[in-house]
Amino acid sequence: MVWNWIRSRLGARRPNGSTPGAGTAPLWSANSEAKRFQIRAVYADLRMKQLIQAGDHYRYAFNDFRDDLRREPAETVRTLAQATFFAHPDLAPAYLLHRNGYVRQASIAAMTVEHLSAFALLLLFFRCNDWVEPVRHDALEKVLALLPEAPSHMLESVLPILVRRAPSWTRYRRHATAPPVDLLDRALEVPQLQQAAIDSLAAMQFGPTTRIFYRLARYDWLDPHLESLPRSARTIGVRRAAMAALLQGKVRWQTGPRCKAEPMVRVLTVETNRGKLFRQAAGDPAATIRALAADALIRQGPDAFPAEDWRPLTQDKRPAVHARMSFFHRKWVTDDVPDYLTDARQAD
């Protein structure tokens, strides 16, 4: 009895007769059908929640995971985890939220395309920001391996969440033996995710769609698809942002925290038909896009575009357009604009 007590205090006690290397022994949290049923039920319930709410705090929903909080040798935990996922592969996604890093590593290794859902894929991305470096490394390798096999609808569901949340993840940038990496940059090297990004920009109806556009527009692989967005995008923010980039021939965005945001700009890598784009913008039903045409007219002058394309703007009653056309008239017709404003517009 005394010896058993000493063994338990030292973390050497192994309930249910399990021993290191016992290939058929499961983790203690999954050593009965009742516990496995409970883990599946909790995971199914979490999958039904909004993806934007997902995070490591979900681990507290799995009460049975507390059974694994024992002082056991790392190899014992790893072996039991591998045996668990070999015998019950469907449990692997739930254990991505486990508190033990060796268990998380084993669950990552067990993940296949058959396990994937939008929720499971998002959990894998979370593990790329794990507090344990080997887990981060394994998770990134697994994500890059599975992304090409993931269905497009799944990628489109996960991408807006990544764009919104990945900038706040900082651990994946810290590697003792490798240079800093940006998770979204690495993920968007995968052509399938690039196509999902293009499709998402056209299909999105809700959320911070303009912010998502500017996060993606810094990648030049988007340039050949920009011209279709002013017509196909379902939100006015994306349509306007794409048209602004096309008319100016460059994309502007801000990087860093809001209190210390730095302006960034890059020139588009594709040639555009400015006259055609101006005509499209000037005739757009949305006043905010017609205002972009007025801005282009102010910058380039009345001779840059056919008069029949811009003359209707002079009769536009919407304030956003009317104010700009009034300025256009003062600048190019009456020359009633201070020099510093004229210089600023020309410099832009």
Question: How many C-beta atoms lie closer than 10 Å to residue 272's C-beta?
Answer: 16
Please give the average pLDDT of every successive group of 10 residues along the chain, which has 348 residues.
39 39 71 95 94 90 91 90 95 96 96 95 94 92 95 92 84 60 86 93 88 92 94 94 95 78 90 93 95 94 91 93 92 70 50
* Per-residue model confidence as pLDDT tens digits over 235-246: 999 999 999 999
Length of the chain: 348
Tokens of 269: 């890598």
What is d(CA 122, CA 161) in angstroms, rounded to the nearest whole number? 8
Query: How does DSSP assign 158-178, residue by residue?
Result: HHHHHHHHGGG--GGG--SSS
Tokens of 274: 């400015």
CB 159 within 8 Å of CB 124: no
Question: How many C-beta atoms lie closer than 10 Å to residue 278's C-beta?
Answer: 23
> Which candidate, 17, 11, 28, 20, places its Cα nearest to that of 68?
28
223 φ/ψ sector (left φ>0, alpha ψ -120 to 50, else beta): alpha
Could you give the angle at the alpha carbon of 109 between the alpha carbons of 107 and 114, nearest 5°?
80
* Per-residue model confidence as pLDDT tens digits over 303-333: 999 999 999 999 999 999 999 999 998 888 8
Residue 293: which residues within 8 A CB-CB, separation 6 or more? Answer: 247, 278, 281, 282, 284, 310, 313
Tokens of 7: 């063994």
What is d(CA 335, CA 342) in angstroms, rounded to the nearest whole number? 10
Q: Where are the beta strands (DSSP E) in the chain?
A: 250-255, 262-267
